[in-house]
Amino acid sequence: MADDTTGQDSAPAGVRAIALYGVGLINGSLGLALRARGFDGRIIGIGRRECTLQLAANRGAIDSYATTPDTVAEADLVIVGTPVDVTASVLGDLAEHARPATIFSDVGSVKAGVVAECAARLPAIRFVGAHPIAGSERSSVEHARAELFDGAKCIVTTGPQADHGATAVVRWMWEFVGADVMAVPPDAHDVLLAASSHLPHVVATALMHVVCGKAYDGVPAARLGGAGLRDTTRVALGSSDIWTPIVTSNSEPVAAMVERMADELAQLASRLRRGDVTAVGAWLERGRELRAEITDDI
């Protein structure tokens, strides 16, 4: 496959078939977006569950599908959409059937581990780590939509051993479907996402544990929740099958952010018990200001 690209609006030379392994919300939306924006090559779905692949085909996210990894030989670019703890092993299985020039990428929310594992175990494959920061608490192809990546951030990993031709192709694909692509080293990605994505999920989950454990005279506190409870805990609906590997694969950065959050709440509790109205008000106001500052970024 040639490494040169022909611009954001057309596929790089040689990219005539893209395989999506694991066609859930992200890869399903990717297939829909590629087609909606005019990619005229083949989009192939690969996975274990034929019923899911058939649904993806019915929705137009893929043109054809297979449940065996040898189909990857037909693809120029392969996007792996699996839980982060199995990404490297899936890449290894697929690489056995791929052509040497085939480019591989992923969509996972943790990058350092898979990038390092691929470099150590699969040095010959052309792998580029990527993470589109888009999605919802729903994880199936049933909820895929072509506009999911419009204006979304997408991180493409960088490093001294990066394959620049492969990186250009992966970058093209995400820009083609509407994402704003940023180049970030894998370790930096994991530290930043521990704060901006992983911590919000565990905090929402912790909030549900606390709220649903509280009742008064037999009335559950959760029954009296309004928009605030609904909006701040929506992400807690995310699949534990997806989120357990994410937070455990990025355990040290996530643990550090959980401790930082606990310290922030402990300071608030101290101010409340002291009756320090001024300090509490200043804390709330600063939070409001900070949220207003990032309105255009999220």
253-293 pLDDT, tens digit per residue, is 999 999 999 999 999 999 999 999 999 999 999 999 999 99
Share of the chain above pLDDT 90, in %: 91
d(CA 110, CA 84): 7
Buried b (16+ CB within 10 A) or exposed e, 210-221: ebeeeeeeeeee
Q: Is residue 12 very low, low, confident or very high in pLDDT (cuts 50, 70, 90)?
A: confident
Residue pair 45/32 in contact by the 8 Å Cβ criterion: no
* Number of domains comprising the chain: 2
Averaged pLDDT for residues 146-167: 94
> Which residues have CB under 8 Å from 115's CB, separation 6+?
127, 129, 157, 159, 186
Q: Identify the CATH number of the domain in which residue 246 sits.
A: 1.10.3660.10
Q: Give residue-wise pLDDT tens across range 71-109.
A: 999 999 999 999 999 999 999 999 999 999 999 999 999
In the predicted structure, residue 298 carries a pLDDT above the cut 90: no
d(CA 83, CA 245): 7
Question: Do residues 69 and 137 share a domain?
Answer: yes
Question: Do residues 133 and 261 share a domain?
Answer: no
Give, to the nearest 10 degrees, the angle between helix 186-193 and helix 251-274.
30
Higher pLDDT, 8 or 92: 92
pTM comes to 0.91
Out of 130, 165, 184, a domain closes at 184
Out of 153, 184, 215, a domain closes at 184
Out of 184, 205, 238, a domain closes at 184
d(CA 21, CA 24): 9
Residue pair 125/104 in contact by the 8 Å Cβ criterion: yes
Higher pLDDT, 39 or 160: 39
